[in-house]
Amino acid sequence: MKEENRQYGQLAYDIVEHAAKKIGSRLPGSEGEKKLHDYMCGKLEEIGIKPTVEEFAVSPRSGIGGLGYAGYFGIILSALMYFALHNVYLWFGMAIAGIIFVIWLVFSCFFYKKWFDMFFPQKISRNSYGELLPEDGKYDYTIVLSGHSDTSWTWRHSEHSYKYKDKPILGLITTYGKVGFGAVCVFLTVGISVAMAVIYAAMMIPSSFGVDASGQPADWAINMYQWANEITQSPSFTRFNFVLLFLPIVTAIGSAFVAMWGDPHEENASRGAMDNATGIALSYAVIKYFKENPDKMPKNCRIIDMNCGSEEAGLRGSMAFAEEHKNDGMLDNCWNINIDSVADKDYFEVVIKDDWQGCRFDKDLEKMFKDSFAELGIESKTNGCIHNPVGGCDSTPMTRAGVKSVTFAAQNPMLTYYYHTWRDMPERFEPETVSQGFDVIINVIDKIDKFQSENGFNGVNH
């Protein structure tokens, strides 16, 4: 680390320790999350920056926080299969429930849509931020430094792999094996329910719906009946019904692995040292650096330090911030350095895309980060660049709002025992890694300053 910046790197690590040890878990909309916002607002006031707090409603269990419900749903369908074998009408209700469940799972848990939020309990979360203006108060563009304040529910299977921390491959196999098997079981129960409902519905169509003008069964209805009758009278269908006497036991066990995936207890939730007290701390350390060194401020630039709430509930804080300010000018000519998990010294990287969200981030910022890694002599096992393969990060709502954004991280992208578990503590990583993250951000801001002077604001470069 650059010696003149060492105090700011240490400051950032001190904030990480306070967040993880003094505050602890900070689930979306929780009292812990509020405490961290209050603490960071106090830090802004210490350096003469007035904080702004914006509240918003969040339904933590409507999205990824409710993944455990998928397991319970699979267990219920598994049990209902036994009754459906004797009452075929049950298959229709199971199929309809299964289709609704899959729509919720895909769009809420995977794509982070808010369509189902109204059906789940709500809490109040918040965003907080402070602005640092040039000495003359005039600016042409804005740099938003953001990190999310909340932490995740502990992922039990990841935490259980701690016993394999010296053999990470075994940890990955046991974790992905249990979850993968459970996911297959849950979707299998839905698939069987839908298939059985279609078959029995086809047998009932001629007598119920499929009649022509003369009151006789229509040809298409007769064809469907014959198709379904052929299936139900086949030896394979008889064998399948026999299998259904035993298969629900297997699917129930698999579904139980999904049900126990997220620990529902707040006291067991992630302490969030890496994910993401580091992002919160580095954002503050950078704005403090420029507050105390106004001669190093980018020319004609406003800098915003934003503490973003409820990222773990499906990017709800960044969504709320983008929606709140998309029309008031705050996001005009705006760059966003989103900082999320800077702890693993061998994995410095810029996240350039959320695959599930279908959002490609800004290529100009991507290049600035890669160049900064090279200039600072940082070598990375991920070659300094990754896609986010699952879930999403706060760069997605900002990018969709027309902000030039990427996410900066230093995190092993493989599933590990400390990711989203209570084992995410500051003792696991070195203060020097956080300090090096500070140097990277300062270097990138210098490049943004130069880019603006030469090119002005050019919009999101996909």
- Fill in the amino acid letter for 449: D
Question: Cα separations (Å) of 452 from 350, 424, 459?
Answer: 21, 38, 11
Residue 247 CA: distances (Å) to CA of 71, 94, 195, 234, 236: 16, 16, 15, 20, 15
% pLDDT > 70, the chain: 96
User: Which whole number is the average pLDDT over 399-411?
Assistant: 96
From 259, 293, 326, give the residue that closes a domain. Answer: 259
Q: Does 216 lie in the same domain as 145?
A: no
Task: Decide if 163 is inside a domain.
Answer: no
Band (206; pLDDT cuts 50, 70, 90): low
Cα 358 to chain centroid, rounded: 13
211 band by pLDDT with thresholds 50, 70 and 90: low
Q: Give me the pLDDT at residue 274, please.
A: 97
Regarding whether 200 and 72 lie in a shared domain, the answer is yes
Query: pLDDT by residue (tens digit) across 88-112?
Result: 999 999 999 999 999 999 999 889 9
Task: Identify whether residues 15 and 90 lie together within a single domain.
Answer: no
For position 215, what pLDDT does the model report?
60
- The residues, any chain, with a CB within 8 Å of residue 428's CB and separated by 6 or more, are 273, 274, 343, 418
Residue 165 is assigned to a structural domain of this protein: no
Q: Please give the structure tokens belonging to residue 338.
A: 């989103």
User: Does residue 201 sit within a domain?
Assistant: yes
Question: 158 pLDDT band (50/70/90 cuts)?
Answer: very high
**pLDDT cut 90: percent of the chain above it:** 82
Residues 246 and 365 in one domain: no
Separation CA 207–CA 218 (nearest Å): 10
Tens of pLDDT, residue by residue over 373-393, are 999 999 999 999 999 888 899
Of 82-86, 225-229, 253-257, 403-407, the one with minimum mean pLDDT is 225-229
Q: In this structure, are 299 and 364 located in the same domain?
A: yes
Name the domain count of the chain: 2
Q: What pLDDT score was predicted for residue 255?
A: 96
Residue 217's pLDDT is what?
65
pLDDT of residue 208: 57
pLDDT tens column, 13-55: 999 999 999 999 999 999 999 999 999 999 999 999 999 999 9
Domain boundary among 259, 289, 313: 259
Q: Could you tell me the residue range of the domain that residue 246 belongs to?
A: 66-111+171-259
Are the CB atoms for 255 and 69 separated by under 8 Å?
no
Mean pLDDT for 410-430 is 94
pLDDT, average across residues 411-428: 94
Task: Report if pTM > 0.85.
Answer: yes
pLDDT band, residue 174 (cuts 50/70/90): confident
Q: Compare 202 and 242 and report the one with higher pLDDT.
A: 242
Banded model confidence at residue 216, pLDDT cuts 50, 70, 90 = low
> What is the CATH classification number for the domain harbouring 394?
3.40.630.10
Q: What's the confidence (pLDDT) of residue 207?
A: 58
Among 75-79, 98-102, 105-109, 360-364, the least confident range? 105-109
Query: How large is the average pLDDT for residues 73-101?
Result: 96
Same domain, 368 and 387: yes
Pair 389, 412 in one domain = yes
- Asked if residue 73 belongs to a domain, the reply is yes
What SS3 string covers the chain? CCHHHHHHHHHHHHHHHHHHHHHCCCCCCCHHHHHHHHHHHHHHHHCCCCEEEEEEEECHHHCHHHHHHHHHHHHHHHHHHHHHCCCCHHHHHHHHHHHHHHHHHHHHHHCCCCCCHHHCCCEEEEEEEEEECCCCCCCCEEEEEEEECCCCCCEHHHHHHHHHCCCHHHHHHHHHHHHHHHHHHHHHHHHHHHHHHHHHHHHHHHHHCCECCCCCECHHHHHHHHHHHHHHCCHHHHHHHHHCCCHHHHHHHHHHHHHCCECCCHHHCCCCHHHHHHHHHHHHHHHHHHHHCHHHCCCCEEEEEEEECCHHHCCHHHHHHHHHHCCCCCCCCEEEEEEEEECCCCCEEEEEEECCCCEECCHHHHHHHHHHHHHCCCCCCCCCEEEECCCCCCHHHHHHCCCEEEEEEECCCCCCCCCCCCCCCHHHCCHHHHHHHHHHHHHHHHHHHHHHHHHCCCCCCC
Task: Using the 3D structure, point to which of 191, 224, 259 is the last residue of a domain.
Answer: 259
If asked whether residues 53 and 71 sit together in one domain, one would say: no
Contact 432, 365 (CB under 8 A): no
User: Does position 212 have pLDDT exceeding 80, yes or no?
Assistant: no
Residues 13 and 83 in one domain: no
Answer whether residue 118 is part of any domain: no
Q: Is residue 117 part of a domain?
A: no
Identify whether residues 398 and 286 lie together within a single domain. yes
**Amino acid at residue number 321:** F
* Cis peptide, bond prior to residue 276, ω within 30 of zero: yes
Q: Tell me the pLDDT of the chain averaged across its residues.
A: 93
Residue 401 burial (CB count, 10 A):
20
The reply to whether 271 and 353 lie within a common domain is: yes
Instruction: Specify the residue for token string 């199929």.
Output: 95
Confidence of residue 462 (pLDDT cuts 50, 70, 90): confident
Q: Is 158 domain-assigned?
A: no
In a domain, 162, yes or no: no
Q: What is the mean pLDDT of residues 235-247?
A: 93
Model confidence at 183, pLDDT cuts 50, 70, 90, reads very high
pLDDT surpasses 80 at 366 = yes
Q: Are residues 189 and 285 in the same domain?
A: no
